[in-house]
Amino acid sequence: MDRDTTIFWFRRDLRLQDNAGLYHALKENKSVLPLFIFDTAILDKLEDKYDKRVEFIHLSLKLLKDELEQIGSSLLVSYGNPVEIFNQFRPKAVYTNHDYEPYALQRDEVVGLTLAKKNILLKSFKDQVIFEKVEVVKDDGKPYTIFTPYSRKWKATLNKFFFKAYSTEKYFHHFKKIPPLPWPALKQLGFESTSFAFPDRVIKASIIQHYDKQRNFPAIQGTTRLSVHLRFGTVSIRKLVQIALKKNEVWLNELIWRDFYHMILWNFPYVADKAFKPAYDNIVWRNDPQEFNAWCEGRTGYPIVDAGMRELNTTGFMHNRVRMIVASFLTKHLLIDWRWGEAYFAEKLLDFDLAANNGGWQWAAGCGCDAAPYFRVFNPYIQTDKFDPKREYIMKWVPELDTKEYPKPIVEHSFARDRVLKVYKEALGS
């Protein structure tokens, strides 16, 4: 690689349009080579060789590569340890976008030091959120820990500068002109194709328009299914905020929750494996492996819970209302550590994002910032009557519901509620 070439390192931003780091790389350099690294530190931890997320990344990169080849460039795809890979290169500079997860921060620090030894600059930009780190804080400079005041300040701080698109297209002629580069098959990465039909990269304005009225009903297409695209950056958060501002404030709030959880992870990194409220680490969990397996497999005898888990296991998706119900059930009804559920979701969710997944689980367990109070125990029957009254969602995933094959409830609701309140009270000393 010649010293005139600048690398743009794709990670959670798999698009050419409205990409902050890519915009700066192209604007400030005359020869930019796009790079993606299949990071073995991440891939080696994935036990399921049919992992849909790896396939989604692989398909998204192929679209990216095709797009680049139409303008006379290509995409360099590497496989291995990022530090070792960057040791092989001597580019002019490396540009990328921020990642906020603990492993990513550690990786980027080591990559930055590795490049610095060769006098190569690593430049990183904000791209996957609107506000990051300490951009939205209380008047005393401390981070918010309650969503509602955070969202008010977020909205008050917002102006067009923060959601204006980066016009990368103006500088596409600065991509390095090269013939098509080799393309690895999934098998070469150690994974197999599932031929799964991923959610379209289509922003459905009609769904956003009615989101506040339809979002809680899992039997209907009331949510956008864009979360996997947001997770891997195949759509721009700025574009979605532009639409949300015009179409639906409730949907905008969902995007703000995403910023909020990223801000929490950045300012309170211990939440990755500990309760945000330390007293909740005193809870004596039952952690019954058989009951956990029944929950994982959708065999709890609570139809709405089982439907949600079966949908997750089959599709990698679970409706947000149902996510709350199944998480509450695991932590409150079965008294199983929220970290067990968080880890299972991390394995299965197409849109798995550490900050949001952790925030959601701690919310459900009552131990997070701005969490549901510990004495709030979702009643799955009431939740079903409210949000799946005709049992359409349940019957789709639990067709054997009214037969002998369907198991009896794993625990009685009133008993479970009394038990969890007693255990939580003892742990919290109240």
Place of tokens 């030091």: 113
Tokens representing residue 220 in the block = 């209907």
Exposed / middle / buried, residue 417 (Cβ in 10 Å: 0-12, 13-18, 19+): middle
**Which residues are tagged catalytic?**
254, 257, 285, 320, 338, 361
